[in-house]
């Protein structure tokens, strides 16, 4: 999929939504102020599809998140803009007890094709209630697919896949990526859910990075190349179901693993990835896997405090160096 | 209607017996005494209308047309159950009958019902969704949020509150301010309170609400006053102690929705007493058959625990169960 057309991430999401709505009349978009769209992904949809298919909801996350369960059982394909990742917590009963579990509890009777998407993660002094990444908690729920694209191209393709999927899919858009640009093909296309991508090939260390940290890891990898260190960067793109094979293949090649996650360390996606690699590719590891994730505190407001807690390029670089400095096993 | 009320009563009595004998896995909330609400409401619905139900949901599900044999099999954790043994009492589902599930979370079904009504409306159908919930759920945020959304979008949903006088083990009036039926008024939702032990009153109120909903006039709220004869859950004596006056229980038993309705039918000459006894005997036999079916059914293969997490990744389809 080569193209010269460069698009903002947020417009790539918009195109995914638009193409899926053109493809299937049952696709509807709801959420708070989706007509004018504060974050931007739904801006312009109402002009093309009208207020029946692009609906503003009251600020009642639990109810509109839950309403999508009934609506999808009735035959719609609802796409929900939650606006901010932390707002998942407001709707947690409907997300975790209802949407995620009804297909399973019913013995596979029902398909719930719902997409819950939101901007998420730290965006710069947004403080504790607007900087969360809820994916670690959601990964543990069982019954939710979770995607987290890192490039505009993936953003569009994964949006289309998420809407076509017959299951509830959580689509997390790292807030700082909204204004990044990259090549995006014009025509509708899909990126399969459950497929990781090697974003940069390398020989010495595997860095698995998620969401906005992919670009940071790529930057570190570029800098380290000048020091003669070859870093492979793998982007899972989907967190549930996880493409373990691509990650394991990479670690088996390099023998070293650093996992970068925009979430608190405890029970993070980084922890899960480090754990399954340790279990399944222990013999290939030359040194212990390293996790680069947030300190286990809420995200503070002041820039200096925030920097102390979050992941940046320095921390990624230090982790990569530490895997190289460790004496290798014979 | 009388037959369905008797079916529910006999089904629930059988569950109480099975529970006492330790034959029922998990825990169970019985509907005895409230049968007129489920039957009065569901008799006003079409097969393609939908319901969401509660933890005390067997009555709703039976009234909506569910097969008691498959329900019994589900309650015993068997493969022939509605959910192949994955759901149990609080997660019984049959989408082909519009039963979107009993629900283990108080109030959990309300947003789902609102959404079901939205989906139907948007897809141009005239179907209606009834959300059954209890007095306890009337204090959940989603009740107010759901009424608001249903009112602004004029959705064909009926909020049907079964007020059985107790929120778990506490009298409702100690936990719930004002009248529940008044709570629809600020949203502009037509709201009434009815005698939930009178199947005809419930039927009439729901029929009226259904008429409005089908005509595109939006939601309604109905509070049905009733009483549960059994505890919040079976076996509660072990920890709850007595919390309801004996006289109160006896008084409500005197208002039994089944015997009063049967007496009325006999009095008006609709049925002879013997006919009613025959219907009851048939329903008792049906429940015995259901138990036999459920007991003889196989348990699911333990590997099935790993299936059905995602809809498109299931090796076996529900059609196999339906046949």
Residue B312 has pLDDT above 80, yes or no: no
- Give, in order, the Cα–Cα distances in Å from B258 to each of A22, A240, B6, B9, B263: 54, 51, 7, 9, 9
Query: Are the beta carbons of A70 and B321 separated by less than 8 Å?
Result: no
Are residues A102 and A71 in contact, defined by beta-carbon separation less than 8 angstroms? no
Rounded distance between C-alpha atoms, residue A155 and residue A14, angstroms: 9
Contacts of B82 in chain A (CB under 8 A): 106-107
Taking a contact as any Cβ pair under 8 Å apart, which residues of chain B between 80 and 139 contact chain A? 81-87, 91, 93-95, 100-101, 103-105, 108, 110-120, 122-123, 125, 129
Q: How confident is the model over B5-45, as pLDDT tens digits?
A: 999 999 999 999 999 999 999 989 999 999 999 999 999 99
Q: What is the pLDDT of residue A153?
A: 98
Handedness of CA B208, B213, B219, B224 (dihedral sign): positive
Rounded distance between C-alpha atoms, residue B321 and residue B297, angstroms: 12
Query: Are the beta carbons of B146 and A109 separated by less than 8 Å?
Result: no
Rounded distance between C-alpha atoms, residue A291 and residue A294, angstroms: 10
Q: What is the pLDDT of residue B265?
A: 95
| Interface residue A105 vs chain B (CB under 8 A) | yes
A135 is catalytic: no
Rounded distance between C-alpha atoms, residue B315 and residue A108, angstroms: 10
Q: What is the DSSP string of A114-175?
A: -EEEEEES--SS--GGGS---HHHHHTTSS-EEE---SHHHHHHHHHHHHHSSS-EEEEEEG
User: Two tokens at B323?
Assistant: 């046949």
Q: What is the pLDDT of residue B237?
A: 86
A70 CA: distance to closest CA in chain B (Å) = 4
- Give strand pairing partners of A198: A234
Q: What is the pLDDT of residue B320?
A: 45
Domain A6-183 and domain A197-325, same fold? Reply is yes
Query: Are the beta carbons of A69 and B111 separated by less than 8 Å?
Result: yes
Taking a contact as any Cβ pair under 8 Å apart, which residues of chain A between 111 and 170 contact chain B? 111-112, 142-143, 145, 165-167
Q: What is the pLDDT of residue B314?
A: 52
Rounded distance between C-alpha atoms, residue B213 and residue B129, angstroms: 9
pLDDT (tens digit, 0 to 9) for every residue of chain A, 330 residues total?
668 899 999 999 999 999 999 999 999 999 999 999 888 899 999 999 999 999 999 999 999 999 999 999 999 999 999 999 999 999 999 999 999 999 999 999 999 999 999 999 999 889 999 999 999 999 999 999 999 999 999 999 999 999 999 999 999 999 999 999 999 999 999 999 999 999 999 999 999 999 999 999 999 999 999 999 999 999 999 999 999 999 999 999 999 999 999 999 999 999 999 999 999 999 999 999 999 999 999 999 999 999 999 999 999 999 999 999 865 554
Neighbouring CB atoms inside 10 A of B239's CB total 7
Q: What is the pLDDT of residue B238?
A: 87
Are residues A287 and A237 in contact, defined by beta-carbon separation less than 8 angstroms? no
The beta-strand segments (E) located in chain A are: 6-8, 27-31, 54-56, 77-84, 115-120, 145-147, 169-174, 181-183, 197-200, 205-209, 231-235, 238-240, 257-264, 290-294
Q: CATH for A197-325?
A: 3.40.50.920
Largest CA distance in chain B: 57
- Residue B126, exposed/middle/buried by CB under 10 A (0-12, 13-18, 19+)? middle
| Interface residue B161 vs chain A (CB under 8 A) | no
The CATH class given to the A6-183 domain equals: alpha beta
The ipTM of this complex is 0.93
**Tokens 């719902």, residue?**
A114
Interacting residues of A311 by C-beta distance below 8 A, sequence separation 6+: A213, A216, A260, A261, A262, A292, A293, A294
Contacts of A70 in chain B (CB under 8 A): 50, 52, 100, 111-119, 129
Residue B317 has pLDDT above 60, yes or no: no
- Cis geometry, peptide bond prior to residue A241 (ω within 30 degrees of 0): yes
For residue B86, the SS3 value is coil
Q: How confident is the model over B180-190, as pLDDT tens digits?
A: 999 999 999 99
* Sequence ranges of the domains in chain A: 6-183, 197-325
Q: What is the pLDDT of residue B313?
A: 67
Contacts of A63 in chain B (CB under 8 A): 110-111, 114, 142, 145-146, 148-149
| Interface residue B196 vs chain A (CB under 8 A) | no
| Interface residue A242 vs chain B (CB under 8 A) | no
B116 CA: distance to closest CA in chain A (Å) = 4
| Interface residue A58 vs chain B (CB under 8 A) | yes
Taking a contact as any Cβ pair under 8 Å apart, which residues of chain B between 37 and 66 contact chain A? 50, 52
Rounded distance between C-alpha atoms, residue A286 and residue A281, angstroms: 10
Please tell me which residue of chain B has the smallest CA distance to A141: B309
- Residue B302, exposed/middle/buried by CB under 10 A (0-12, 13-18, 19+)? exposed
């Amino acid at each position: 999929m080569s193209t010269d057309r460069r698009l903002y991430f947020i417009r790539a999401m918009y195109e995914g939504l638009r193409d899926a709505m053109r493809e299937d009349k049952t696709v509807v978009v709801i959420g708070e102020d989706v007509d004018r769209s504060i974050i931007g992904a739904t801006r312009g949809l109402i002009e093309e599809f009208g207020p029946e298919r692009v609906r503003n909801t009251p600020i009642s996350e639990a109810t509109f998140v839950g309403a999508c369960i009934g609506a999808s059982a009735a035959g719609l394909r609802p796409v929900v803009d939650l606006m901010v990742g932390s707002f998942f917590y407001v709707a947690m009963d409907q997300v975790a007890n209802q949407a995620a579990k009804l297909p399973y509890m019913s013995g596979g009777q029902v398909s719930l094709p719902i997409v819950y998407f939101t901007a998420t993660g730290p965006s710069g002094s947004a403080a504790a209630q607007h900087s969360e990444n809820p994916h670690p908690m959601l990964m543990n729920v069982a019954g939710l697919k979770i995607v987290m694209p890192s490039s505009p191209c993936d953003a569009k393709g994964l949006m289309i896949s998420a809407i076509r999927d017959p299951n509830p899919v959580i689509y997390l858009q790292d807030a700082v990526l909204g204004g990044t640009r990259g090549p995006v093909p014009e025509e509708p296309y899909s990126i399969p859910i459950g497929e990781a991508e090697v974003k940069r090939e390398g020989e010495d260390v595997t860095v698995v990075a998620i969401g906005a940290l992919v670009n940071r890891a790529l930057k570190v990898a570029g800098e380290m190349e000048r020091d003669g260190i070859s870093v492979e960067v793998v982007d899972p793109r989907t967190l549930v179901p996880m493409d373990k094979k691509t990650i394991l293949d990479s670690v088996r090649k390099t023998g070293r693993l650093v996992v970068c996650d925009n979430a608190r360390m405890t029970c993070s996606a980084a922890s899960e990835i480090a754990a399954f690699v340790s279990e399944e590719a222990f013999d290939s590891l030359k040194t212990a896997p390293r996790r680069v994730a947030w300190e286990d505190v809420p995200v503070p407001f002041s820039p200096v405090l925030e920097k102390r807690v979050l992941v940046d390029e320095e921390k990624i670089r230090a982790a990569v160096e530490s895997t190289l400095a460790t004496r290798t096993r014979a | 209607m009388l037959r369905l009320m008797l079916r529910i009563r006999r089904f629930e009595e059988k569950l109480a017996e099975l529970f006492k004998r330790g034959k029922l896995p998990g825990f169970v909330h019985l509907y005895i005494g409230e049968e007129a609400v489920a039957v009065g409401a569901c008799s006003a619905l079409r097969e393609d209308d939908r319901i969401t139900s509660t933890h005390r949901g067997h009555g709703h599900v039976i009234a909506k047309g569910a097969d008691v044999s498959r329900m019994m099999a589900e309650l015993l954790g068997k493969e022939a159950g509605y959910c192949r043994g994955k759901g149990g009492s609080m997660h019984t589902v049959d989408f082909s009958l519009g039963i979107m599930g009993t629900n283990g979370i108080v109030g959990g079904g309300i947003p789902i019902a609102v959404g079901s009504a939205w989906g139907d409306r948007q897809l141009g159908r005239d179907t209606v969704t009834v959300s059954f919930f209890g007095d306890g759920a009337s204090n959940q945020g989603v009740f107010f949020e759901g009424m608001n959304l249903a009112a602004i979008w004029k959705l064909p949903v009926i909020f049907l509150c079964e007020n059985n006088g107790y929120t778990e083990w506490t009298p409702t009036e100690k936990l719930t301010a004002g009248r529940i039926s008044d709570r629809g008024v600020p949203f502009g939702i037509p709201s009434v309170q009815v005698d939930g032990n009178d199947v005809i009153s419930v039927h009439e109120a729901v029929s009226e609400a259904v008429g409005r909903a089908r005509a595109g006039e939006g939601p309604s709220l109905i509070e049905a006053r009733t009483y549960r004869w059994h505890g919040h859950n079976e076996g509660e004596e072990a920890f709850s102690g007595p919390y309801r006056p004996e006289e109160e229980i006896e008084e409500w038993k005197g208002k039994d929705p089944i015997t009063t309705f049967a007496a009325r039918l006999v009095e008006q000459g609709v049925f002879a007493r013997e006919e009613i006894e025959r219907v009851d005997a048939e329903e008792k036999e049906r429940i015995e058959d259901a138990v036999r079916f459920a007991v003889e059914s196989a348990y699911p293969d333990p590997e099935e625990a790993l299936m059905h997490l995602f809809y498109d990744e299931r090796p076996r389809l529900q059609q196999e169960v339906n046949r």
